[in-house]
Chains A and B, each alone.
Chain A
Amino acid sequence: MKSLSRWLIAAAATVGSVLVLSGTAVAATGQSGAALSLAVQPVSANSVNLALSAQVGSGAAGQKVTFFIQTQEFSSHGWMAVGSSTTNSAGAASYTYTPTWTGAELFGAALGSSNSVSAPSVVKSFQVLKDPPGVPQSVIEYSRPLGSTGGVFVKSILGVLALVWVLLLGSLALVVWRMPRLAGASVDSGRKVRD
């Protein structure tokens, strides 16, 4: 079952890649006649942010470029537009993206706005590393939301816990102390312990 599912995923990814690649040619020739390329690299050496840089031909200014990342829902993959920008006089457009998890990531770009394109025409893989050197904080290491109020919270819970212990032990103590005294205190209609 495991190998079958992996084979299916691999097959779907291959078919998807072929479709994406064939889409590259169509989009490139259909809209500008110029090739679109994509580069992904950290904004700076110590930054977790990535610069997604697209190049449209040479000097094709004012063109809209939409950037994508590949998402995964259960075992299927899909493209999600993360942002867009317009090419400058050199035909370059860039977008800064903050990755939210580590590992191999697929980025894409396509000419056009996110309303007109739903898949990239060029794809680039990039390995996102956890905690690049020099970065003091990752998303996980940000200060915890209960950091300031946690002390009061903890004391409250300990207080409730102490109350529960008092109730439990108090009830037991009450029974142990009071029950023998009630034995001879009444002659009533209750059922007696029969021999």
Chain B
Amino acid sequence: MKETDMNENVLLDENGHRAAQQAWAADVRRAALKPTIGRTSVAWRLSVTVLGLIVLAGIGAWIYQLKYGLGAAGYNDQAFWAVYIVDVVAFIGVSYGGAVISAVLRLTGQSWRAPLTRLAEGTALVTVIIGALFIFPHLGRPERFWEIPIFVNTSSPLFWDFMAISTYVLATVIFFYLPLIPDMAIVNKTLGRADRPVLYKIYKVLSLKWMGSERQRRMLHSVLTLISLIIIPLAVSVHSVLSWAFATTSRPGWMETVFPPYFVIAALYSGTALVIVVASAFRKGYHLERFITKRHFVRLGYIMAALGLVYAYLTIADLMSEGYTGITSGWIRETISGRYAIPFWFYVLAGEVLPIALVAVKKTRNIKGMTVASIGVVIALWIKRIVIVLPPVTQPLIGSYWGTYHFTWVSITITLAGVAAIPLGLMLLFRVLPVLSIEEMEEMGELGSVEQVSRETLEAQKHLPAFAYANGNGNGHVNGNGVGMPEKEVQL
């Protein structure tokens, strides 16, 4: 019998089961808390510095734009909407994916979700905040933003955008906080008062005296189910409202009934892709290989591919319905074969053909393949939003003079700052909060999923230094330090 088979048998042995669970729990805690309570590495500090500088450069560019006006970002009489509204739609869109993926998996009781939920919900939280902030550079007079809720104009899509996004931000914050309550109690106990006294106090307050009693657990589960139920239609409404900002504007190419589902599916599609990218990056950077395995990527890849097909269908529906009437289809010619042909066909290749092919072919249906596919989708969907915004906005309503939009260093810097803010926000977030949902991971271990994960882990680590659960002595694994973790030092 091969060594791996022996290990599996030992693992599944009745006596070894409890030891495996304990080892699993210890491993989860160590991996989840290491970024929070451990020292940061040079690479982490360097990354945070570089990303922080990019964000600061973006803020500087925005100050420059405030001084010289939206023309500094390439806006003009024709291109009155351009890159910033694309950023708003794209960033809030990817947030939608994280929230809905987590909510749906939670509601359907998918235990495999556990290692991903914190990353997905964290991504949703960070990106929705960045997306909402992009409204400010989009506004010509941002200092009058406060007037939106004070002098209510219900005829304005901007008012409804404000209402929808603020509601969604509130829901995302609550959805992120509630599963953190048990984890913060764990961090609080692990951290100790002396290590980081301020954080210790914050965790103590926010953990709400969590003891893990059955009644506390039942209550948390009920409220989380309710919030999961609310956040799905809420996210749909946010993207519908965002699309109506276009669809209620009398421009060819925007005033279409297909826009709400078009935007919602695009958000889900790009959001799922970003969850895969984030999971891949944090898996590697935070050494979470044991918990986030190939099956997570493949399952998310299936979801992403299905959404990609739906989005391709809606893209065709969008072009066909208006193109067939021919009334105002100049923007379609410009999109397919005119000045926006290169970005449009880039979307087709990188945002549809490549990811679906990578998921379809068994050989590429792995972590690397899904990551490459997801990066393609995230970039292509941002470019697709450019194609949705610019051709209609620059199409002339009278005469034949087409408007133009040129990217400037200001708009590029502010957009790059938004992109850099995602990993920066996540790295800082998981510096103070556990990167894995410890409670759910331990629950997963109790449900028996630990065995399946362990099998995968054993399979995946045939060629790695041995730190599997079972050590062949029939008692399941307990390594030298008694916590079932590899001796390898975890670096952030």
CA of A132 to CA of B178 in the docked complex: distance in angstroms?
61
Contact with B along A119-145 (1 / 0, CB 8 A): 000000000011000000000100000
**Which candidate, A12-20, A28-36, A45-53, A68-76, is the interface stretch facing chain B?**
A68-76
The answer, among A174, A175, A191, A195, for a CB contact under 8 Å with B442, is A191
A186 at interface (Cβ–Cβ under 8 A)? yes
Is B209 within 8 A of A1, CB to CB?
Answer: no
B210 at interface (Cβ–Cβ under 8 A)? yes
Interface residues of B in 306-357 (CB under 8 A from A): 323-329, 332-334, 337-339, 341
Contact with A along B205-225 (1 / 0, CB 8 A): 000111111111101100100
Given contacts A1-B337, A5-B333, A175-B223, contact A165 B170 (CB under 8 A): yes
Which are the 3 A-B pairs with shortest beta-carbon distances? A72-B326, A190-B214, A180-B209
Is B214 within 8 A of A188, CB to CB?
Answer: yes
Is A192 within 8 A of B212, CB to CB?
Answer: yes
Is A102 within 8 A of B398, CB to CB?
Answer: yes
B428 at interface (Cβ–Cβ under 8 A)? no
Interface residues of A in 172-195 (CB under 8 A from B): 172, 174-176, 178-180, 182-195
Given contacts A75-B333, A130-B398, A182-B219, contact A101 B328 (CB under 8 A): yes
Given contacts A101-B327, A167-B230, A180-B209, contact A2 B442 (CB under 8 A): no
CB distance from B263 to the nearest CB of A (A): 18
Chain A residues with a Cβ closer than 8 Å to the other chain, count: 46
Is B397 within 8 A of A102, CB to CB?
Answer: yes
Is A193 within 8 A of B338, CB to CB?
Answer: no
Is A179 within 8 A of B329, CB to CB?
Answer: no
Most A CB contacts (10 A, CB to CB) among B211, B220, B339 go to: B211
CB distance from A139 to the nearest CB of B (A): 10
- What residues of A have a CB within 8 angstroms of the CB of B397 in the complex? 102, 130
B360 at interface (Cβ–Cβ under 8 A)? no
The answer, among B182, B223, B339, for a CB contact under 8 Å with A174, is B223
The answer, among A4, A101, A179, A193, for a CB contact under 8 Å with B219, is A179
Interface residues of B in 111-135 (CB under 8 A from A): none
Is A183 within 8 A of B214, CB to CB?
Answer: no
CB distance from A192 to the nearest CB of B (A): 5
CA of A168 to CA of B169 in the docked complex: distance in angstroms?
11
- What residues of A have a CB within 8 angstroms of the CB of B212 in the complex? 190-193
CA of A188 to CA of B215 in the docked complex: distance in angstroms?
9
- What residues of B have a CB within 8 angstroms of the CB of A194 in the complex? 25, 186, 189
Is A183 within 8 A of B210, CB to CB?
Answer: yes
Is B326 within 8 A of A164, CB to CB?
Answer: no
Contact with A along B163-184 (1 / 0, CB 8 A): 1000100110010011001100
CB distance from B325 to the nearest CB of A (A): 8
Most B CB contacts (10 A, CB to CB) among A103, A164, A186, A193 go to: A193
The answer, among B211, B326, B328, for a CB contact under 8 Å with A183, is B211
Given contacts A5-B338, A171-B227, contact A193 B209 (CB under 8 A): no
Is B185 within 8 A of A175, CB to CB?
Answer: no
Is B213 within 8 A of A188, CB to CB?
Answer: yes
Is A193 within 8 A of B170, CB to CB?
Answer: no
Is B327 within 8 A of A100, CB to CB?
Answer: yes
CB distance from A15 to the nearest CB of B (A): 19
- What residues of B have a CB within 8 angstroms of the CB of A174 in the complex? 223
Can you spell out 20 A-B residue pairs with CB atoms less than 8 angstroms apart? A2-B334, A2-B341, A71-B326, A73-B323, A130-B397, A165-B167, A168-B171, A168-B227, A168-B230, A171-B223, A175-B208, A179-B208, A179-B210, A182-B215, A184-B209, A190-B217, A191-B442, A192-B212, A193-B211, A195-B189
A161 at interface (Cβ–Cβ under 8 A)? yes
CA of A167 to CA of B210 in the docked complex: distance in angstroms?
23
CA of A172 to CA of B182 in the docked complex: distance in angstroms?
15
Is A1 within 8 A of B341, CB to CB?
Answer: yes
CB distance from B391 to the nearest CB of A (A): 12
CA of A185 to CA of B214 in the docked complex: distance in angstroms?
10
- What residues of B have a CB within 8 angstroms of the CB of A129 in the complex? 398
Is A103 within 8 A of B398, CB to CB?
Answer: yes
Is A185 within 8 A of B215, CB to CB?
Answer: yes
- What residues of B have a CB within 8 angstroms of the CB of A154 in the complex? 154
Is A182 within 8 A of B230, CB to CB?
Answer: no
CB distance from B349 to the nearest CB of A (A): 15
B460 at interface (Cβ–Cβ under 8 A)? no
- What residues of B have a CB within 8 angstroms of the CB of A167 in the complex? 226, 230
Is A74 within 8 A of B323, CB to CB?
Answer: yes
Given contacts A5-B337, A72-B326, A186-B213, contact A175 B220 (CB under 8 A): yes
B108 at interface (Cβ–Cβ under 8 A)? no
CB distance from A75 to the nearest CB of B (A): 6
CA of A192 to CA of B250 in the docked complex: distance in angstroms?
59
B234 at interface (Cβ–Cβ under 8 A)? yes
Is A193 within 8 A of B337, CB to CB?
Answer: no
CB distance from A188 to the nearest CB of B (A): 4
CB distance from A76 to the nearest CB of B (A): 9
CA of A185 to CA of B217 in the docked complex: distance in angstroms?
13
